Structure 1
């Protein structure tokens, strides 16, 4: 079984919960583009496309835009994770579930 490098998942993703219906097909490729542009060794079109498909099922468009920023600014993920704001805590739980699911599905 081929595993996705932890670094890529930590910087861009994060665990399985329940899958929600996709917000819409328009949510499209926010995370996919950020993943491909990240220039990480493990980032490939098939992997980034798979991660995007999981994001479309588990994250809202707004959450996808926030998560996509983590590729460029990994420190932002740490700030969100440690934030005391309720909306950041809610986002982080969903993001973590998304990352775990993407790690399981996109291997």
Structure 2
């Protein structure tokens, strides 16, 4: 199972924040927060090479809380060091 270190997770979040205007403009699927969390979830899926059976099941119209829970689910056993995930999730969308 591929794991992620805090430094790599922080780099992914930072990259999304740097490109957030472009990401939001090209993915008008919800609120700014939902779009950025959606992008983070998809980036983690790729980074961790998740298979279909490892993906969280999102049903219906997903909101920011749903994406947060999905990210927590994906990272539950995949954090190499125990970093404060909610700190990143809470602060990544501050300017949105």
Give the helix-richer structure, 1 or 2. Answer: 1
Please give the TM-score of this superposition, normalised by the length of structure 1. Answer: 0.29
Please give the TM-score of this superposition, normalised by the length of structure 2. Answer: 0.31
